[in-house]
Structure 1
Amino acid sequence: MDNLGIHVSWLWLVAGVLLCAAEAVVPGMFLLWIGIAALATGLVLAVFAFSLPWTLVLFGILTIVSLLLGRKFYGSRDVEGDRPFLNRRADALVGRTFILTEAIRQGEGRINVDDSPWRVRGPDMPAGTKIKVTAVEDAMVLLVEQA
């Protein structure tokens, strides 16, 4: 009990609920874990009585544990989505076949993919040759071989 006649655990529980509710307004998934730690601190204080310094140490430890568990279970999701190559267009071309629009001379040439020209590297071949993309180099150069 504090001087107002309110058990300290209630203050921690209310603070935890407010922090969890504030997560709806503040983006970042950070207040949620602190709110969960405050709720856990309130539950522990409902059973055991600690002095203020030990309560703050308990809250600190529970915050770290909550953050680590949250990161492990929530942050480890690898969301692929319905467009996995959205920011890696070149990787989506590996394995596909195209027609050379510009002959490969001295190891370099060009193809058209939809409406975009792409640089390609591979063995010398004349324009019009059917090629297959085997890999991506430097994020914008396609490595090719004859299909």
Structure 2
Amino acid sequence: MTTVPDLGPPASQPLVRLRLAPHSTLPRRIDGAWWPHSRDLLSELPLLIGALPRAWGQIDGVTVNTAMWSTSPGRMLVANHVVRLNRSSVTHSRHTIRLLGPGRGRWDLLVVPPEIDAVDAEPLMAAASAPVATA
């Protein structure tokens, strides 16, 4: 297991690029978008988890696509809490991350590849976090 220290956000640490869809009673396939700064899950995941709404509770499981991320252990300690890391090779989930909160639910986020520039990333993030259209 890898331990990631909870040092708080230093001034040099990048901001989390995250957009979440507004809460709705209508079901969604994607709950928002995350644009990490790198493909290093050990450095990016603690930032993401720290930026999630408190209403989501503690995240104890994360599923990512093997092709999208550099190697990582099967679990890591984030802010004194063990997070299980599951890797998948399913093609349809390449650009998503699944977050699981015990007793709270599951959230799927679109992962915008870190190497994409802002001009291309912005519309993807906006579309993934847009409210569900009702007829």
Establish whether TM, by shorter chain, passes 0.5: no
TM (normalized to structure 2)? 0.22
Radius of gyration: which is bigger? 1
TM (normalized to structure 1)? 0.21
Higher relative contact order (CA 8 A, sep 6+): 2
Q: Quick check: which one's helix share is greater?
A: 1
Q: Quick check: which one's strand share is greater?
A: 2
